[in-house]
Each structure stands twice: as C-alpha cells, then as structure tokens.
Amino acid sequence: MDCCRHVNPLRACSGLRGLGYLMLAFVAAIVAVSYYAVVVYTWGPLLLGGGGAAAGAAAVLVVFHLLLAMIIWCYLMVVFTDPGAVPENWRHASEEDGIDVNSRIISDNWDATYPTSEGQRAQRYCSRCQNGKPPRCHHCSVCNRCVLKMDHHCVWVVNCVGARNYKYFLLFLVYTFVETVLDTLVLLPYFIEFFQDEGSHSSSPGDIAILFLAFVLNLAFALSLLCFIGMHASLVTRNTTSIEVHERRNLVSWKYDLGWRKNLEQVFGTKKLLWFLPLYSTEDLHNIGALHGLEFPTRSDAVV
C-alpha cells in the first residue's frame, strides 16, 4: 500500500519519453529489416539478370525508395516541428493591454501575421503552466506544457501531435501504410515459396529469418495503420481531434465543423499540389489562422 501512495506521475511521464527514444530505434530497425529484405535479398539481385524481371524489379525499387524518402521526410518533420506552444503570458498580456490575443506574433518560423476574429479572448487558464489556454489547447503531461490544438502525445515520434505538425503526422501515416502494403505484396511470393519448398532452401538461415520477420512486421503494421488512418480521416473531415471526440459528446453540433472541404484545408492548406508534401505555402501560413493554433473559424449556426 505504501508503494502505491508514493507513485510519482512525473516519473511515469519521464518513462514515456524514454520509451519514445526506444520507439525511434525500433522504427529504424524496422526500416533496416524491410530494406534488406526487399532491396538486398529479394528484388535487388533481379536487376542483374536483365530482361522483364529486371524491369519489374527496377519499378518496384524506384517506388520503394520514393516512398521511403517521403516517410523519412515526413517523420523528421513530425519529430522536429514544434506542435505549437502558447506564447508566454498570452492571456495576461491580452487582459492588461486590451489587445486581441490572437493577433500576437508567433516565433519558430511561424511569425506571419494572419486575420483574426474580432473580440476573441482567452477563456481558459492552465494552472500548471500559469498561462492562458487558447481554444482547443490542452496540457500534455509528458511534455509538461500546453500544446496548441493537441491531438495526442505520440511515443513513436517523441513529440506531441498538434496544430503545426498534424499534417506531417497524417502524411507519415499514409506513406508508411502504402510502403508497408508494397513491402507485403512484393515479399508475399517469397514468403509463400518459403513454405512450399521448406526442405530446399539455398539461402542462409539469417536471410530467411529476415525475410520472414520483414513480411510479418509489414503485414501487421499495414493492418494496424489502416484502422488508424481510418480514424484520423474521420477526425480531419469533421475538424476535430482525438481529445475533442470525448469533449464534444454532449454537443448538438460542433462549432469547428465547416464542411469536409474547408476542414481539410484547415489541416492541409488550400494549395492542393502541396497536400501530399510536408510543406505549406507562404500564403496559407499567412491566411489560415488554424495552422498557427491560436484561433479557429467557427460555424455561425453551431448550437451547444
């Protein structure tokens, strides 16, 4: 009983951060295993044979490397992009100076000014941060700070997913799903062959083990990511977050739901050519306040 009384939640949060770094190593290991199985062991050697097999292998490897490049790009953007923090004394400054809180300039390369709704002020306060809480902002116990439009803290990226990196997170999920599906399909013939010719393997036990592990891991991740992508697709099209799903249960209508087209633009921007890249146009960063995480357009007909 005494042990239970002295449990320190801060230690648990530190443990989650440590787990995140282990997850980074796990992700790198999965990529390495998949790369060896697809490129080095199975499809890469076909390039040396020439003919149609070589052409097919070249196509597979080109797509594989393009997807891998996008995964790494998006992953690094999620990991190293600040999801959005509340400016220091955000609420106090607005109350003392009488200025619109949402017109404050933000740092970290998000310092473009953007249109705001008149008269909007902070309505909540975080006792742990000793600061105001903009709309849709939540306190993360792992990061020990308030995060703008927080969706969740992701141990896989050792970072929170919020207003400024949610698009990168979604793209990371999509490209990882496509890559795992590709890996599963191109390794499937070799996986079947493994069981059909069980007694006549010319490959080393290590290569066979890597092939088996890569196929199983990619199949498992593809199935799990399909469910995860489906969930987040529903959230994006309704302009809500994983946290807000629970908060809006008793609401008749959701005031941030602007229709699925506008909702997508609130996350991905208005430049559809950039929807599939972890980038935003300067124009979108200037005009779409939701990308900064301090103010959000709402429906005029929303009813609580």
Span 176-222, pLDDT tens digits: 999 999 999 999 998 888 777 655 556 678 888 899 999 999 999 99
How many CB atoms lie under 10 A from the CB of residue 124? 12
**Running DSSP on this structure, what letter comes out for residue 253?**
S
From the list 158, 118, 120, 180, the residue with the least C-alpha distance to 14 is 158
pLDDT at 96: 44
For residue 156 the two structure tokens come to 């896989």
Q: How far apart are CA 18 and CA 123, in angstroms?
A: 34
Q: How far apart are CA 10 and CA 16, in angstroms?
A: 10
pLDDT at 118: 40
Q: How far apart are CA 239 and CA 51, in angstroms?
A: 50
Q: How far apart are CA 5 and CA 213, in angstroms?
A: 43
Q: Which residues of the chain have pLDDT under 70?
A: 1-18, 20, 91-123, 197-203, 251-252, 302-304
pLDDT at 22: 82
Q: How far apart are CA 284 and CA 164, in angstroms?
A: 12
Q: Which residues contact 56 (CB under 8 A, 6 or more apart)?
A: 46
pLDDT at 206: 82
Q: Which residues contact 288 (CB under 8 A, 6 or more apart)?
A: 114, 265, 266, 269, 270
> Which one of the listed residues 137, 143, 146, 154 is annotated catalytic?
154
Pair 71, 77: CB distance under 8 Å: no
Span 265-302, pLDDT tens digits: 999 999 999 999 999 999 999 999 999 998 899 987 76
Pair 146, 136: CB distance under 8 Å: no
Element holding 273 (H helix, E strand) = none
**Helix spans in the chain (H):** 2-5, 9-35, 51-80, 90-97, 166-196, 205-237, 242-247, 260-268, 282-287
- pTM value is 0.82
Pair 192, 215: CB distance under 8 Å: no
Q: How far apart are CA 42 and CA 33, in angstroms?
A: 12
- Residue 154 designated active-site: yes
How many CB atoms lie under 10 A from the CB of residue 114? 20
The beta-strand segments (E) located in the chain are 124-126, 131-133, 138-140, 145-147, 152-154, 159-161
pLDDT at 10: 41
Count the alpha carbons within 13 Å of 208 in the hemisphere toward its beta carbon.
13
